[in-house]
Structure 1
Amino acid sequence: MARSDRLFRLLQLMRQMRPPVTAARLAEATEVSLRSLYRDIDSLRAAGARIEGERGYGYRLVEDGSLPPQAFTRSEIEAIVLGLGEVRAMGDPAMVAAAEAVLSKVAATLPDDREQQLLHAISHVYRPHRRMQTSPFLDVVRDACWSEHALDIVYADKDGTTSQRTVHPLALVYTDRALTMLAWCCLRADYRMFRLERLQRVERGSHSFRPKRVALLREYIGRLEGRGG
């Protein structure tokens, strides 16, 4: 791991872990020696991070110089907590981790009174069950959307009939009960929706469709909105 990446990870760990965090825990989490960890702490302090504590007692990130201070109203803080709570309830592991990271980063930029409002907000999301089924192919589909690369898939329709297709994945849509991929289907030469739990096999295709994703998605959304009208 590059040192810059390690320092970023160290900052993130200090935002998330309950203080004071011992040097031993931080060294284990960043996979470095205690000596290297102490040097990393000194580097973060030199870069502007206000870190209280010392060797043998543990550390606490008081002020994060890498993030500018933020001014949110109490209602805006409630909206952040609710929005991230919905993301955590969706059942997408990558987005759950991302939501938790965002919450810790926002908390690190707030004054003490606003930070307490964020951590002890009066509004919460409670969903005893995941909103949708996850898929072993979710990370592959997400990466293909970002990289604008075709996917070769085997898909089962609602009756269980399977077909092989090459698709250009455009976006992921989270509904109340399903996670759906919006895509251009090369087999049908048209736009299609594919529910991720019905994907039987997904492999990276042979070609890229860069830089067409944004234009294709805009056209597809336009069709859907026109149909809804």
Structure 2
Amino acid sequence: MARSDRLLRLLQTLRTLPSPVTAERLAEETGVSVRTVYRDIEGLRAAGAIIDGETGFGYRLVEDMALPPQTFTRTEIEALVLGLGEVKHTGDEELARAAETAFAKITATLPERLQLQAVHAVNRIYKPLPPAEAAVDMAFLRRACWEEQVLKIAYVDGEGRQTERDIWPLSIVYLEQALILLARCCKRNAFRRFRIDRIAGASVTGESFRPHRVSLLREFVAQMIAEEGARPAG
């Protein structure tokens, strides 16, 4: 591994793990020797990172030279903690891990007083019932949306009937107890909402619908808002 990549990995580990973190733990997390950790800590310090601690006591990242300083109000910090906590609870493994690293990066740029406010935030997320588990890889669905790839899906409706159809995946919506894939259905030539826990399988067709995702999603959202507004009150 190149030294620059190794230093970045060590820096991210210092951001993420509770401090103080020992050189042994850092070595375990980064896959290098303890002696290399000692050298790399000095390398990070020489590059501008302020790292408290020493051999035998553990280390704490005080100031991160790789990220610009950030200033948030206490309420903004609470909002960030609450939002990232929601992602950690409702998201799949990849999203939950991203929320954790994002929190570490954000707090690493805060002055120590604000770091303490983030760690000891007043607002917390607690939801004993997670959303219905998806049968398909959520990272795969996200990539298909990002890259505007046409998907072939096997979908099971509420009565247990399974159909196959090609779709243009547009967005993933997180509801209280379900995940919804907003898509353009090629079979019906219309917008559809697919419960992700009812998608039995999905694969790429090799076709692309680029560059239509943004405009189609805007149209779909406008349609949903109009439908919601047309419903009778009460």
**TM-score above 0.5:** yes
Structure 2, unaligned stretches of length 5 or more? 230-234
1:221 aligns with 2:225: no
Q: Deviations over 1:81-131 (max 9, x none)?
A: 222222222152222212222222221111122111111112212212214
Q: Report the Cα distance in structure 1 between the residues aligned to 2:227 and 2:132, rounded to whole angstroms.
A: 25
What is the number of equivalent residue pairs in this alignment? Answer: 229
Offset at 1:140? 1.1
Offset at 1:196? 0.7
Q: Which amino acid aligns with 2:60?
A: R
CA contact (8 A) 1:89 1:131 kept: no
* Structure 1 counterpart of 2:175: 175
1:1-229 pair list within 5 angstroms: 3-229=3-229
Percent pairwise identity: 50
Q: Report the Cα distance in structure 1 between the residues aligned to 2:169 and 2:40, rounded to whole angstroms.
A: 41
Task: State the superposition RMSD in angstroms.
Answer: 1.9
Going from structure 1 to structure 2, the CA distance change for 1:143 and 1:5 (only over 3 Å counts) comes to: farther
Offset at 1:35? 4.2
Q: Report the Cα distance in structure 2 between the residues aligned to 1:37 and 1:86, rounded to whole angstroms.
A: 34
Q: Deviations over 1:28-51 (max 9, x none)?
A: 211223344344333322332112
Offset at 1:216? 1.4
Q: Report the Cα distance in structure 2 between the residues aligned to 1:7 and 1:195, rounded to whole angstroms.
A: 42
Offset at 1:6? 3.6
Tell me the SS of whatever aligns to 1:170. strand
Structure 1, unaligned stretches of length 5 or more? none
Q: Report the Cα distance in structure 2 between the residues aligned to 1:31 and 1:204, rounded to whole angstroms.
A: 35
Q: Report the Cα distance in structure 2 between the residues aligned to 1:87 and 1:117, rounded to whole angstroms.
A: 20
Q: Which moved more, 1:11-20 or 1:178-187?
A: 11-20
